[in-house]
Amino acid sequence: MLKIWKSLLTLMVCIVILLGAFMWLAFHSSKQELLDKKESASAPEKLTISAKPLPLEQKSIAAAPSATATDDNEKEENARAQGLLSSKNDEHRIEGLELLGAYPSPINEAILIRYLRSKENPEIRSTAAISLSTLENPTTSTIDGLLDTLEDPSEDVRFSALSTLEDYLTMEENNSSIHRHIQAGLRAKLQSKRLQVNIEKEINDIVRDR
């Protein structure tokens, strides 16, 4: 009988040990799962922080170099145009005038008008007239210079000036001051009877259509 009780006691001790081990393993596994869930929950926050957009000030600073590069390029091209205009080679001066037209500004506008009104050869004066077509807000002096050029001895120069004036009319609203000034100037030229026949016909067509 004593042997039986000893066996039962040994069995119960083993059962208790096994139950304790099982409970410890279950607790440890549950704790590890909780830690894993906390880490996975904090991960999106880290990603969100790293993907946070730049502040507006930083965006402006990042965009500044490209604007500066554009300004520097324009300065370089204007300086190159001035160098070409100082050449005695007509082809170089024509290239310089075309460069000034590619970078319209009040300074470049004044230079182009000076060449338009000059006694340079017709090709240079014609190039100056065409280069003025890139201006968005031509001055009254520029418009008057182009209107006067409609009586130029060279046919190419006359038609280049008229083409630029027509471009201005296309860009402007019908009731704008520039549009009215050009229309009035063209009508005055028609009434002066000093125009060549071929350009007089072209001006008549422009005035009639607009």
Task: Say if 14 falls within a structural domain.
Answer: no
Task: Say if 4 falls within a structural domain.
Answer: no
Length of the chain counted residue by residue: 210
Question: Tokens in use for 169?
Answer: 């009319």
Task: Say if 122 falls within a structural domain.
Answer: yes
Contact 90, 127 (CB under 8 A): no
Q: Compute the distance between CA of residue 113 and CA of residue 44 in angstroms, rounded to an integer.
A: 64
pLDDT digits (tens, 9 = 90+) for 140-175: 999 999 999 999 999 999 999 999 999 999 999 988
Task: Say if 192 falls within a structural domain.
Answer: yes
Among 147, 165, 154, 151, residue whose Cα is nearest residue 193: 151
pLDDT digits (tens, 9 = 90+) for 103-137: 999 999 999 999 999 999 999 999 999 999 999 99
Q: Taking the model in full, what pTM does it have?
A: 0.68
CATH of the domain at 108: 1.25.10.10
pLDDT digits (tens, 9 = 90+) for 22-74: 665 665 565 556 555 555 555 444 444 444 555 544 444 445 556 787 888 99
Domain with 154, as residue range(s), is: 75-209
HEC profile of 75-122: HHHHHHHHHHHCCCCHHHHHHHHHHHHHCCCHHHHHHHHHHHCCCCCH
Among 96, 93, 56, residue whose Cα is nearest residue 80: 96
Task: Say if 64 falls within a structural domain.
Answer: no
Residues 6+ apart with CB under 8 A from 127: 94, 97, 98, 115, 160
Q: Compute the distance between CA of residue 200 and CA of residue 186 in angstroms, rounded to an integer.
A: 9
Question: Tokens in use for 201?
Answer: 């016909």
Task: Say if 54 falls within a structural domain.
Answer: no
Task: Say if 43 falls within a structural domain.
Answer: no
CA 132 → CA 2, 118, 156, 185, distances in Å? 123, 15, 15, 17
pLDDT digits (tens, 9 = 90+) for 174-208: 889 999 999 999 999 999 989 999 999 999 999 98
Report CA 138 to chain centroid distance, whole Å: 22
Please tell me the total count of domains within the chain. Answer: 1
Return the pLDDT at 29: 60
Task: Say if 17 falls within a structural domain.
Answer: no
